[in-house]
Structure 1
Amino acid sequence: MNQNSNKVKWYPRLLTGEMVRAVLSGHKTVTRWPLRKQPVEDVAKRKGEWVWEDVDGNIFRAPVRPGDVIWVREAWAELTAVSPATGEPIPIGPGEQLIEPPTFYMDRKGYKRWNYDGTVIAYRANSDVMFCDGDGFSGEMADKDDMPHWRPSIHMPKEYARLFGRVTGVKLVHVQDINESEAQAEGVRPAFSHPGLDGVVSQPFYRWGFWRLWDKLYAARGLGWDANPWVWAVSFRLISKAEAEA
């Protein structure tokens, strides 16, 4: 689908490293986030296929619909494509993506020489990159002011993204409505306890694992599990960048 002609919406989602790895492994196929403005008391009725209304007449429209694209923002670093130590292109490692290939020129003797350009993006969730400075030094010998560094997911531009999901379903629900299978589809690890339980039990639950993750992300904003906020629950299937842009 063409983004412009078919009005496909692209919606960014910030994910932790753990959740990025869950998407990569195929364990995360659903994502939830709280509404920016919470409905008053309860959602009174559905006004349309993707529109709801609360008891005070406030309207809530789904931020995405089936067919739209979610693109993942994650912690990242921008690397050069040519090694400052060898002057040659650097092999692309795990958790890295070549965005712009380096250019080259032929010197007077007819040898290929690489320009120090090109862009490689490393993704913190599964990259084993070791940063070096402009002279090729790493570790204690490196110039710390002349090195790439991990940047927060909120600052990732869309052209550097590597994970794209085609939306397959959207629901407006309370966060506590999640069941065990839905929590597993969130990509979390099962937990033997939750914040409201003293001690542990003999069997772990995905729902409790999701509870812990949710509070880690949203409790400080007053939207934790106990507040039971309204959330968008969006299911998706992982697609390639080419399919997302088609």
Structure 2
Amino acid sequence: MKERPILFSDQRVRALLSGQQTQTRRIMKSQLMGPGQDNHEGCYGIDVINNHLQGNRVMGMENLSYHCPYGQPGDRLWVRETWRGPIIDANEVSDYERSPTRFKNPRYCQYRADTSHFVDRADQEDQSGWQAGIHMPRWASRIDLEIARIRVEKIQDISEDDVMAEGVQTDSHFLNNFFTMHNEPVSAKDAYRKQWALQYGGTSWEVNPWVWVIDFTRIDA
């Protein structure tokens, strides 16, 4: 079993914590060439220049999943999110000064996803000290996931069931408004499409990239 970090936004962390999200899609850094583009009809070639796999060819999509950079079924992912810490109470400062390592624990951290998304962040009392999730060390991570399945597909091929597994529910579910940044009811798939474009850019849905599809289960602490 291997462990790897994976970055989630505040919205996605809330979906994880609520149990709504059991799947995530991540754009493949090197997009697949179509059949025949590698002079071998029926094979899927990987862009060697971009990912340095020395021209590895695979005979089907199920074989391609073995090259997923996020791991394989049974491997674990630890979630990176916006955070700050360690946060030390005044009565523990002396203990911290004697043994700071003991305080490198999620119990001494705060996570921005826990702040109410209904409150304007500018109105919150203390907004200092937040650190981007990309810089989160392993000790500060509070969410572990176990990979159940890896596959590959085009983003527009996402099914309605998979949209819900991504944390977007029916058109009346609060997560839809949450992902689309407005209050009008929308379909779950349309909400996901808008959230995808918000995260990856205005034309990211239309170009229909290949993505890694990762099914996972959350590991209870």
- 1:23–1:29 contact (8 Å) kept in structure 2: yes
Structure with max Cα Rg = 1
Q: Does 1:149 align with 2:129?
A: yes
Give the RMSD, CA atoms, in angstroms. Answer: 3.4
Which blocks of at least 5 consecutive residues in structure 2 are unaligned? 36-41, 45-57, 117-124, 177-183
- Which amino acid letter does the alignment assign opposite residue 187 of structure 1? G
**Inter-partner Cα distance in structure 2 for 1:49 and 1:77:** 40
Identity of paired residues, percent? 28
**Inter-partner Cα distance in structure 1 for 2:169 and 2:194:** 10
Counterpart for residue 135 of structure 1: none
Which blocks of at least 5 consecutive residues in structure 1 are unaligned? 1-7, 54-59, 90-100, 105-113, 129-138, 194-200, 242-246
Q: Residues 50 and 103 of structure 1: is their aligned pair in 2 closer, same or farther, counting only changes over 3 Å?
A: farther
Post-superposition Cα deviations, 1:127-160, rounded to whole Å, max 9, x if no partner, equal: 47xxxxxxxxxx6xx9xxxx95101111001121
Q: Residues 12 and 102 of structure 1: is their aligned pair in 2 closer, same or farther, counting only changes over 3 Å?
A: farther
- 1:62–1:232 contact (8 Å) kept in structure 2: yes
Higher share in strand:
1
1:208 to 190, 193, 207: 190
Q: Does 1:71 align with 2:82?
A: no
Secondary structure, aligned partner of 1:79: coil
- 1:189–1:209 contact (8 Å) kept in structure 2: no
Shift of 1:103: 2.6
Secondary structure, aligned partner of 2:113: coil
Give 1:131-142 correspondences, 5 Å limit. none
Give 1:150-229 correspondences, 5 Å limit. 150-188=130-168, 190=170, 204-219=186-201, 224-229=204-209
Counterpart for residue 95 of structure 2: 103
TM-score (structure 2 length as normaliser): 0.69
TM-score (structure 1 length as normaliser): 0.62
Higher share in helix:
2
Shift of 1:188: 2.7
Shift of 1:61: 1.3
Post-superposition Cα deviations, 1:91-130, rounded to whole Å, max 9, x if no partner, equal: xxxxxxxxxx9738xxxxxxxxx969535211110047xx
**Inter-partner Cα distance in structure 1 for 2:190 and 2:219:** 29
